[in-house]
Amino acid sequence: MNNTIVFALSSSVGLAKEICKELNLPLGKCEVKHFADGEILVELGESVRGKHVYFVQSTNKPVNENLMELLIGIDACKRASAATVNCIIPYYGYARQDRKAKPRQPITSKLVANLLESAGANRVVTMDLHATQIQGYFDIPTDDITSLGLIADYFKHKEGLDVKDIVVVSPDHGGTVRARNLAESLNTLVAIIDKRRPKPNVAVAMNLLGDVNGKVAVIIDDMVDTAGTLVSGIDMLKAKGATAVYACCTHGILSGPAIERLKNAGLAGFICTNTIDQTEKQKEYPEMVVLSVAPLIAAVISAVEHNSSMSDALSHAFE
């Protein structure tokens, strides 16, 4: 992989370093500058001519700044004659705006796809998209990989916990496939929370489809933002007789009151990944378990560079 360079932009420096360690590559030299008026400059510190470049950048808060950094970095590489520019976007911002839920609304996740392609991206790699059909918004190769294997592995090796006692719970109907896939990995049952969402970031748990009485409930979602939906579901599961409740997600956005809500929810554990950097949040909530997705992303980069099977690479990522 002598022709490969991995650059880190502002939101994912720690993750990019872990990926480079997995690949036995030095982290590419790159500097991001923010001017007083908000303008952004991305300067590459080494030649990319004829190279296969990988930018690692989640577009979490500040969403627009992180997105612009990525677009500007792509442009810098194209103008410096990079052979290919590949965007590793572990958390794809604007993914929740994937359709017109009401008249006169935008489909912003499609707009972001257009921007990345127009800037000159040759490939996009994401993790656990909020809606998998977003892959279809791109006319370039797009790979959406999942962290469910990581999470399943965590529970299989969790000391003092028998997977036979687990029921995997989807927090809504939309997450049923995700919950079923995790349940299949753990060889256990599924339950579904029926909820209503009267407005953004507000959801009310109405009913439970399935049985958690006397069981350990494991809620699985793609993201946790303000944790209001999650806490509502936790309360219901306890009322339905769950002996313990774990909450898991790929993307720990954890906005506003999320940390305080999780602390007070009586969880047996909260598990997320480092698609979004959790260094500061872990200081507030040290009980939070953060799993690294670096081996998965490194496996994807290796598969792309060696023109090998991505599914085989991912299945052997932890061997």
CA distance 279 to 290: 9
Burial class for 27, CB neighbours closer than 10 Å (0-12, 13-18, 19+): middle
Is residue 278 within 8 A of residue 224, CB to CB? The reply is no
Residue corresponding to tokens 């720690």: 14
Angle made by CA atoms 317, 318, 319, in degrees to the nearest 5: 100
Q: Which of the following is catalytic: 29, 33, 195, 238? A: 195
195 a catalytic residue: yes
Beta-strand ranges (E) seen in 49-107 are: 52-56, 84-89
Burial of 104 (0-12, 13-18, 19+ CB in 10 A): exposed
Considering all CA atoms of the chain, what is the largest pairwise distance in Å, rounded to the nearest integer? 61
Active site members: 195
